Amino acid sequence: MSTLTLNEDRLRQFLALTKPRVVSLVVFCAVIGMFLAVPGLPPPAVVFFATVGIALVAGAAAAFNCLVEQKIDAVMARTRRRPLPSGTLTSWQTLVFAAIVGAVGLFILHRYVNPLTMWLTFGTFVGYAVVYTVLLKPATPQNIVIGGASGAMPPVLGWAAVTGEVAPESLLLFLIIFVWTPPHFWALALYRVRDYANAGLPMLPVTHGRRYTQLMIVLYTCALVAVTLLPFAIRMSGYLYLAAALALGGWFLLYAVQLYRDYSDLLARATFKYSIWYLAALFTALLLDHYWH
């Protein structure tokens, strides 16, 4: 095997540490926040540097998560092929990588965006990598509810990057993601319950059973549909967004009710996948409405 091939494989392993799919959704929500923050178009340079900085810090947080949870990842079918449990990268390599990537991201945000965005992003890193991963996840079945606050921050970061402030509208975007997180993640936990039980993690299906978790998904989805109507209620958006929020939310609620009435792993997996598509479509509708109305 050539040196070039080995280097490419090593780069792929480091990239895998950053959980690119998760980071892409984080960046997407942050960019939406940037565009919603101003009537016209945000400054291209700010969008570029904020996107790069937020992506780097999010990737560093994901790598730190992989470092802390490597023993848990090793016993879960979904995660055992990650670089650390598979032995392709060491803990030291991961720690150095996370530190460098995170530091570069924070420097970019401070130097080329603004200090507020840098500090908010750093707080988000601590919330996910330390508060959620180290403290909450192994301690309480409400881990994803409380820890979801860090995952809901991207629109706030994007908004602050462009305006230099945390506006009430950005906190409303935060609230939408915050309420979305539990039904999204619990759908995954339902069909991965054996993995979490084997890993000793107190996820809701493990501690309270499948039926209770299914009920919580329905209730949180109802709350989510209500929360997504607030942008229209405060005139942050118009009828285009309202129609999209009702249609997307109604379909999500249909998934949740079906999951409660007639559970199957296949349906839980479909609900989880739809929840990702739902959030992306909802924020896209909000952006289109922003420039349409």
pLDDT recorded at residue 5? 59
pLDDT recorded at residue 218? 97
pLDDT recorded at residue 56? 97
pLDDT at 4 over 60: no
Tokens describing residue 114:
């603004």
pLDDT recorded at residue 7? 67
Sequence-ordered list of residues with C-beta below 8 angstroms from that of 77, at least 6 positions apart, any chain? 195
pLDDT recorded at residue 171? 96
Instruction: Please give the full DSSP string across 120-168, using - where no structure is assigned.
Output: HHHHHHHIIIIIIIIIITTT-TTHHHHHHHHHT-HHHHHHHHHHSS--H
Q: For residue 112, what pLDDT band results from cuts at 50, 70 and 90? A: very high
pLDDT recorded at residue 1? 47
Spatial distance between the Cα atoms of 71 and 86, rounded to a whole number of angstroms: 11
What percent of the chain shows pLDDT beyond 90? Answer: 71
Alpha carbon distance, N-terminus to C-terminus of the chain = 57
Under a CB-based contact definition with an 8 Å cutoff, are residues 262 and 184 in contact? no
In this structure, the number of other CB atoms found within 10 A of the CB of residue 38 comes to 13
For residue range 14-37, list pLDDT tens digits in order: 888 899 998 999 999 999 999 999
Nearest alpha-carbon partner for 27 in 53, 4, 1, 8: 53
Spatial distance between the Cα atoms of 204 and 184, rounded to a whole number of angstroms: 13
Ordered domains of the chain (ranges, CATH): 1-166 (1.10.357.140), 167-293 (1.20.120)
Q: Is 37 helix (H, G, I), strand (E, B) or coil?
A: coil
Average of per-residue pLDDT across 271-291: 96
Spatial distance between the Cα atoms of 223 and 216, rounded to a whole number of angstroms: 10
For residue range 252-273, list pLDDT tens digits in order: 999 999 999 999 999 999 999 9
